[in-house]
Structure 1
Amino acid sequence: MGSLFRSAEMTLCQLFLQSEAAYACVSELGELGLVQFRDLNPDVNAFQRKFVNEVRRCDEMERKLRYLEKEIKKDGIPMLDTGESPEAPQPREMIDLEATFEKLENELREVNQNAEALKRNFLELTELKQILRKTQVFFDEHEGGVNPTESMTRALISDDSIARQGALGPVQLGFPEKAIDPEDFLPCFVAGVILRERIPAFERMLWRACRGNVFLRQAEIETPLEDPSSGDQVFKSVFIIFFQGDQLKTRVKKICEGFRATLYPCPEAPADRREMAMGVMTRIEDLNTVLGQTQDHRHRVLVAAAKNIKNWFVKVRKIKAIYHTLNLFNLDVTQKCLIAECWVPVLDLENIQLALRRGTERSGSSVPPILNRMETCEDPPTYNHTNKFTAGFQALIDSYGIASYREMNPAPYTIITFPFLFAVMFGDFGHGALMAMFGGWMILKEKPLAAKKVDSEIWNIFFGGRYIIFLMGVFSMYTGLIYNDVFSKSMNIFGSKWQVVTNMTGAHILAHEATMTLNPASSAYAQYPYPFGLDPVWQLAKNKIIFQNAYKMKISIILGICHMLFGVSMSLWNNLYFKNKLDIIFQFVPQVIFLCFLFLYMVLLMFIKWVTYFPTDDLDLVKWSPHCAPSILITFINMVLFKETKVDKVCDPTMYAGQIGLQKLLVVCAMLCIPWMLLAKPIHIMRAAQRNNFSVSHQQMQSATENGDAEQPMQNNTQEVAKGGGHDSEEMSEMFIHQGIHTIEYVLGSVSHTASYLRLWALSLAHAQLSEVLWNMVLSKGLQVDDWRGGIALYIIFSFWACLTVSILVLMEGLSAFLHTLRLHWVEFQSKFYAGLGHAFQPFSFETILDTASTAPGEE
């Protein structure tokens, strides 16, 4: 638990592994997930590293597995996922895996090619069957006495477009000015199938290219046909074209080829057509049988592959990750040992040694691995131990910036402060209950929801922050009880402590009095406060907003000052750990004094005002009545400006004896802290540097005098001091500038950050008012309808009100309060002590690699 408050202690280690044991040892370290390897070959190309061939083999195996997965998904076959993670196979097992994948891919590709060829034959036979069926109508007309040639020629001459279906009178084919004997006219025709959407353009091209000397008839195929290449369903039409001569025949065939129309033989004799149709039907039946057998074989192959494909993916990805990691290692001069450098947590060194020992035993090597700690000046990575509960809060902190090494971690404190400050803005028991139920549902269904691997980014964000959502809902329920606000209504649990005392009857009051004024000074009313939260009578009061404004505004300032003081105190623990005494004396102490003497004093004035002033009718105690209660804001402004607070003659301008003198002392002390923060640290460092330079120069002069050669060393020393003085002066100027920026930021930030916490009051008031408006303008309308229609109206209006409540008040207002709370932690709280300049610890972990691969979009 100690590493949660501060990042874990890290060390740089050097690892020596035998070549035959390196694979198994890295595999064990990947399962452990506690080692971050460094690249010892940064200048070596990725294609020139030692294990590049093994990585390529893994890429090829992944490609084959993706092909199998694509085919499995195409057939809708469920893939078995046991949730287990098999160990990385040994290198010798790669050959068996490659052979298995090669066999499956070849078999599946062969089956697919055969199926595609069969489907293409089936498509051709189906189209030919449709041609024989659709063109039969035209030939029946010819056999019934209507000459198709005469119909064709009459249509070609009399119409300005290609002739369509219908019987026409006897007209000669050809141009009008020519006369040809019908006995010599022997028409040719072609029949085929074309995509339905290409028919209009096809007709226009035939008309223009053939100059109207063609006769086209077409009929739509009602059922869609399957494209054997893509598997899509397409709609096609049957056509038959009559023309004269070989020249037109060549031209028509080229046009058909250009429009990708498929031509089929169509006999003119009825007996030949019937015989061909019977043969086509027989072949179609045979093809259906073969296609069914082919699909069954394909299905069996895919079902067998679906049972193991998840485990195969895990194995291949683990092998690939191991060889990628081995490419980061160096070879020693004997080419028999691999050398690696890695960052590891100090507390986990024993576990890492055990993992290396297991890997050595698995490989059968007799030489144990060697793990040596190294000294380095590099900044170690930051590693915070987290679990499923703390991971979400740690992610909020890391989004701002990774903590510097061994810096105080704000995450454990954020677990409480974040949902609490959120709840101050989102204080409604009903809305908090909805949020808590949603978060609780995700927590209860954690395992099945995590196993689904949903691709939605919004859902993954919600699920990753399920514990945050649950705590925000629970804390909102608490603050909702404090505010006594449940869907903008109050709960009278303990009975109101305000009582109406009058001689009039209730009916008379309702008839003649629009409002009743309750006097808190009267003993008949508020004898003692409401046991928990606000009295429900405030829900009916006209001055409810005024009362809640004053209450929530003061609470926001109190919480804000306490939160910032806690952030400043965190900097003390950082300075104590890093033994930075200068920052404690010249930064922490004046910062605390400045914040306490001004802003914490303002908080104390609020408590003094609450305790001192009370409602009373006694004239002798009028100076302690609410009439004489001073404004805290005006008092604070006058305190800083050294002005007197003007009040009525009957009132006392101060709340306690000696207030004016104490306030002046506090302001003066707070103002003295500004030059303390601004100048003390740079001046102290500058004097220390001058003392060091003087002591070094004095020692050099003494040694030169003892050696009998004082003149030359003194000249050299003078030059060095001059150079050092120039460099130090540059550094000192930068230090003064940096300290000035830090001081101005803190002084002005104390004011702006205090005002920033007023968002707690503003959003809380806005949320309450929006909830009340939604109740009064939507749901209350359903309660005003009488009779049986009221039930129907209430049912409809309640549904509308519930949708608006969830979408606006829970989701939108919840998101707004979440972002404001995040800002209060990032800026107002963490800026007091948190640098966030570190880099994250990224260990070699199979779990992380597999999670990343499962959420990445699949490659085609």
Structure 2
Amino acid sequence: MSNYFRSERMKLIQLLIKPETAYSLIRAIGQLESIQFRDLNEGKPNILREFQNDVKRFDKLERRIRKFDSVTQSITIEESDEENLLQNEEIEAIEKGSIDNIEDEIMENITKLDDLVENEQQLKRRWFELIEFQHNLKILSRKIKEKDFSHSQRMIKLHSNSSSETTSNVSSSSSSATTSDILTSEDDLIKLESMSDEKTKEEIEKTQQVSRQTKGIIEQKKKVNKKPTKEHYLDVYNQYLKFNIVTGTILTESRGRIERLIWRGTKGNAYVSFWDIHDPIFNPIKKAHEHKTVFVVYYSGGFLQNRITKIVESFNAKVFNIRSTHKERKQQLEDVKLQLADLKTTIKQTNLYMKKFLKFLKLRILPWYRRIHIEKATYHTLNLFSRDTNEQYMVAEGWVRLSKLDKFRQVVQENDEIGEHAIIINILDHKQMGLMEPTYIKCKEYQKTVQSLVNSFFIPKYREINPAPIMLVTFPFFFAVMFSDLGHGILLTLFALFLFKTYDVYKVSHYHSLIQLFYNARHLILTMGISSCFIGIMYNEIFAAPMHFFDSCWEPDTNSTVAYINKGNNCTYPFGVDPEWAYKSNWLIFFNSFKMKNAVIFGLFQVTIGLLIATINCIFKKKYFNLFLDIIPKFLILFSTTGYMCFLIIYKWLVNWENRKGQEGGIKIIVTLIDLAFYLGKVEDENEFFNNQQVIQKVLLSIIIICIVIMWFIKPYLEYRLLKKKLRLWELGEIQQQNFEYTDAESFSFADLFVNQSILSIEFVLGILSNTASYTRLWALSLSHSELSAIFWDKLIMYPLSLHIPGLVAYGYLFWCFFTLFVLMMSEGLSAFLHTLRLHWIEFFSKFVDDENGIEFHPFSFKFSFKKLANQEDDEFEL
């Protein structure tokens, strides 16, 4: 624990390395976790650094491996897959083999993967098209009927025998009617006839012209007294009345738009029929089911074909070549079924091969990545080095942990492949260079959560006290004071134990970041739960109900329905609050007073610890000027104000006020504090706590005034004189520049120092009041938590029980569980956690944290990077 209070000492070293030795040395140093290299090329663009092309090369390989990882996420490797399991020899070949061979292997496999994926996509697209083609053929086989030609012959006779007015109307729909009888069902014919009424005059004239031509041919045949033959009618049908079709499939939601667009694009000379495919078709490309519709566009003449095809293809429609006769369509359907059967076998074999190949890749991803990461980290580190003036050595500087310095020297000597003077180590004086030592604090697992909370606010500098060990105690305790209930503490403890139980599953799973926070903070949650149980027993509350562990010192008065009498003058409840207080009419007044005074005492305790840390830091840094003119006056002001108030609180608790005449109800402390501030410590006889109280209060008031004068006026004046003296000595050359912060007399003045110190002094004095008020949140949140818990218990448990309705009791219990978990445990628990964090960050840390932040120590290590990557705990990885 002593190492946890202070950071480990560091040494700044310089390495002079022959270029041919640098690579192997960095590979060996990456195992130690002992050195943090400085960037000697700071400000230099990456593109101008010596090994940037190598870094880019391995960046590219990393992207390839991440692609392998993304496509193998769903693949699981079982122990039965012996042929796929990676042998030790193969792992060793990857980890120690040539990086060029590994690169060639990765690029070969990425090409192979791309080919397999493209082939798979093509097979899936072909399957999708054949399925749609099959549905198209099935529907058209049912809907499109081939009629006898005699029906067409009767329709032509109908045209030849009708009158001129009737002829124009009939001929406007003759082609549509004929084709509808030949190609479509009767429902489509009705649609076609309804659409023919909306045709334009130009279209009607064209249709009438066709009718007149047809009528003229028939009359010409009659003149020669020859009966028209079947071939004659067929010629007329093929020349004037035959319809062509364009068919395929579209998305169901596009049918309305495509119908309107075809109608407008063909000026009403085409008719569309739709038939929905009832079962949705799975699209393997989009990996989703799609609702499709078969469409048929009827048109006459060949000039509309290209226009209709472009229209339907603009809606991503699949257009199929359907045969004209029923027999040919049936043969097409059989061919499609055979192709689907063959394609199904091909896809199955492709999937088996793809799965085997992905297993092969998955086993090699981590070894590949580890090797690539080592290479990339090595060259990235080499980019931090510079060259000496003769270009013979590469120069490196870094911070080494003092405990690892001997081992570091040993590793350097073992990797001196060339011989003498290939690697030279020099110890540098960081103070002469004006550098700050980085901070390295070695933490156990249960300390990491609290240490991360400290690091989020500030990084302790070297030889400064680390407040995290103190927070290990104060953080759970302050949380428990606000979350003061035995029942809720037990639930929180059980939740922490659940996190410990399932931690092994968490390590091998990929959870959401919020769940990861709970698992990482499981030790802190456990201590918060146990502390809440302790404070809940002290306050004697379990789900807002009192607990009768021992016999109460109070009993109801037989002469009154509300009064209680004490069993004896010396009766004291053994531990915590007497449970009978919960049944008294003034229980809220008692608990408010008790919890509020406790909160102020706890606050004084933590603020005092903060000033003690500041004192120890000043002693270790030998800043005695700040110690005597800043820290000690703050101590005196704190104990003359808040400290005196806490003394009066404890004194009032220890005195039996019933034996003091005129003061049977006790003295209000707030009155005494007001007299201290506004009446210069004067105390009335009826408000006197103890003898000579007025003298003591005047002494305290004098101490406060003297300390404020020292902090506000004397400290900036003496600091100004000291800086002027140092400036003169520096000008005479008697002190070094690094020991003096100001090198220009114009860079500071007494006014600047006075204004800055005035702000700090006023902030501290007002902070005494604000800190006292801020710590009352310990009382406020405890009261709100207790009141909410009591309301839920009374309204959802006790009230339904008083009505003797079983169903209402069950519903009340369910609601009580819901509100307990989501309101009291989650909402109130989060609120208590945030307020506890605020008390430490603002009230506690502000007493010893200055403006200068430390530098966290990040050693160069392959091992830490591997743990972050694989989300697993590894032993040291040997190359």
User: What is the TM-score with the length of structure 1 in the denominator?
Assistant: 0.85
**Conserved 8 A contact 2:75-2:358:** no
**Conserved 8 A contact 2:672-2:683:** no
Q: CA deviation at 1:734?
A: 1.8
Mean Cα displacement is larger for which, 412-421 or 9-18? Answer: 9-18
Identify the residue that residue 166 of structure 1 maps to in structure 2.
187
The correspondence for 2:502, drawn from 426, 435, 445, is 445
What aligned pairs does 1:62-461 form with structure 2 within 5 A after superposition?
Answer: 62-73=62-73, 77=76, 92-142=97-147, 154=173, 166=187, 168=189, 175=204, 176-180=207-211, 181=214, 182-183=236-237, 184=239, 185-227=241-283, 229-332=285-388, 337-356=393-412, 360=415, 369-375=423-429, 376-454=433-511, 456-461=512-517
Give secondary structure in 1 for the equivalent of 2:609: helix
Counterpart CA distance in 2 for 1:433 and 1:217 is 70
- 1:640 partnered with 2:658: no
AA paired with 2:672? T
**Conserved 8 A contact 1:13-1:372:** yes
Percent identical residues: 29
Identify the residue that residue 841 of structure 1 maps to in structure 2.
857
Q: Using a 3 Å threshold, how does the CA distance of structure 1 residues 321 and 692 change in structure 2: closer, same or farther?
A: closer
Counterpart CA distance in 2 for 1:230 and 1:353 is 59
- The Cα offsets for residues 332-390 of structure 1, whole Å up to 9 and x where unpaired, read as 467664321112222332343345456x28x8988774332211211222222222111
Give secondary structure in 2 for the equivalent of 1:626: coil
The correspondence for 2:697, drawn from 663, 667, 674, is 663
Give secondary structure in 1 for the equivalent of 2:645: helix
The correspondence for 2:713, drawn from 670, 679, 692, is 679
**Conserved 8 A contact 2:143-2:185:** no
Structure 2: segments with no counterpart, 5+ residues: 80-84, 156-169, 215-235, 735-741, 872-879
Q: CA deviation at 1:459?
A: 1.9
Give secondary structure in 2 for the equivalent of 1:307: helix
Give secondary structure in 2 for the equivalent of 1:839: coil
- The Cα offsets for residues 813-846 of structure 1, whole Å up to 9 and x where unpaired, read as 1221222222221222221112262232233233
**Conserved 8 A contact 1:419-1:475:** yes
Q: CA deviation at 1:225?
A: 3.5
Identify the residue that residue 710 of structure 1 maps to in structure 2.
none
What aligned pairs does 1:550-569 form with structure 2 within 5 A after superposition?
Answer: 550-569=593-612
Counterpart CA distance in 1 for 2:259 and 2:319 is 16
**Conserved 8 A contact 2:449-2:521:** yes
Counterpart CA distance in 1 for 2:40 and 2:619 is 36
Counterpart CA distance in 2 for 1:233 and 1:729 is 74
Identify the residue that residue 623 of structure 1 maps to in structure 2.
661
- 1:766 partnered with 2:778: no
What aligned pairs does 1:743-822 form with structure 2 within 5 A after superposition?
Answer: 743-786=761-804, 790=806, 792-822=807-837
Counterpart CA distance in 2 for 1:691 and 1:311 is 63
Counterpart CA distance in 2 for 1:468 and 1:571 is 26
AA paired with 1:31? Q
Give secondary structure in 2 for the equivalent of 1:528: coil
Counterpart CA distance in 2 for 1:58 and 1:148 is 79
Q: CA deviation at 1:475?
A: 0.9
Q: Using a 3 Å threshold, how does the CA distance of structure 1 residues 447 and 118 change in structure 2: closer, same or farther?
A: closer
Q: Using a 3 Å threshold, how does the CA distance of structure 1 residues 302 and 772 change in structure 2: closer, same or farther?
A: same
AA paired with 1:166? D
**Conserved 8 A contact 2:683-2:694:** no
Q: CA deviation at 1:78?
A: 6.2
Identify the residue that residue 516 of structure 1 maps to in structure 2.
562
Give secondary structure in 1 for the equivalent of 2:397: strand
**Conserved 8 A contact 2:481-2:782:** yes
- The Cα offsets for residues 100-149 of structure 1, whole Å up to 9 and x where unpaired, read as 22232222222222222233333333333223221112443535976599
Counterpart CA distance in 1 for 2:523 and 2:748 is 51
Identify the residue that residue 34 of structure 1 maps to in structure 2.
34
Counterpart CA distance in 1 for 2:152 and 2:17 is 94
Mean Cα displacement is larger for which, 772-781 or 133-142? Answer: 133-142
What aligned pairs does 1:541-552 form with structure 2 within 5 A after superposition?
Answer: 541-552=584-595
**Conserved 8 A contact 2:461-2:853:** yes
Q: What is the root-mean-square deviation of aligned Cα atoms in Å? A: 3.6
Q: Using a 3 Å threshold, how does the CA distance of structure 1 residues 576 and 685 change in structure 2: closer, same or farther?
A: same
Give secondary structure in 1 for the equivalent of 2:395: strand
Counterpart CA distance in 2 for 1:329 and 1:685 is 42
**Conserved 8 A contact 1:89-1:319:** no
Q: CA deviation at 1:517?
A: 1.0
Counterpart CA distance in 2 for 1:63 and 1:148 is 72
- 1:585 partnered with 2:601: no
Q: Using a 3 Å threshold, how does the CA distance of structure 1 residues 595 and 119 change in structure 2: closer, same or farther?
A: closer
Give secondary structure in 1 for the equivalent of 2:465: coil
Q: Using a 3 Å threshold, how does the CA distance of structure 1 residues 147 and 561 change in structure 2: closer, same or farther?
A: farther
Counterpart CA distance in 2 for 1:236 and 1:388 is 58
Identify the residue that residue 831 of structure 1 maps to in structure 2.
846
Counterpart CA distance in 1 for 2:709 and 2:628 is 13
Mean Cα displacement is larger for which, 765-774 or 373-382? Answer: 373-382
Counterpart CA distance in 2 for 1:106 and 1:729 is 65
AA paired with 2:56? R
Q: Using a 3 Å threshold, how does the CA distance of structure 1 residues 774 and 228 change in structure 2: closer, same or farther?
A: closer
**Conserved 8 A contact 1:623-1:652:** no
Identify the residue that residue 530 of structure 1 maps to in structure 2.
573
**Conserved 8 A contact 1:13-1:341:** yes
Counterpart CA distance in 1 for 2:419 and 2:381 is 20
Q: CA deviation at 1:728?
A: 6.8
Give secondary structure in 1 for the equivalent of 2:399: strand
Identify the residue that residue 59 of structure 2 maps to in structure 1.
59
- The Cα offsets for residues 210-252 of structure 1, whole Å up to 9 and x where unpaired, read as 2222232232233434446444433322222222112122322
Give secondary structure in 2 for the equivalent of 1:39: coil
Counterpart CA distance in 2 for 1:164 and 1:8 is 91
AA paired with 1:413? I
Structure 1: segments with no counterpart, 5+ residues: 505-512, 616-620, 701-723, 856-860
Give secondary structure in 1 for the equivalent of 2:324: coil
Counterpart CA distance in 1 for 2:280 and 2:821 is 46
**Conserved 8 A contact 1:196-1:236:** yes
- The Cα offsets for residues 555-592 of structure 1, whole Å up to 9 and x where unpaired, read as 11212122212211222111110111111221222222
AA paired with 2:697? Q
Identify the residue that residue 46 of structure 1 maps to in structure 2.
46
Counterpart CA distance in 1 for 2:419 and 2:152 is 94
**Conserved 8 A contact 2:269-2:299:** yes
Q: Using a 3 Å threshold, how does the CA distance of structure 1 residues 371 and 221 change in structure 2: closer, same or farther?
A: farther
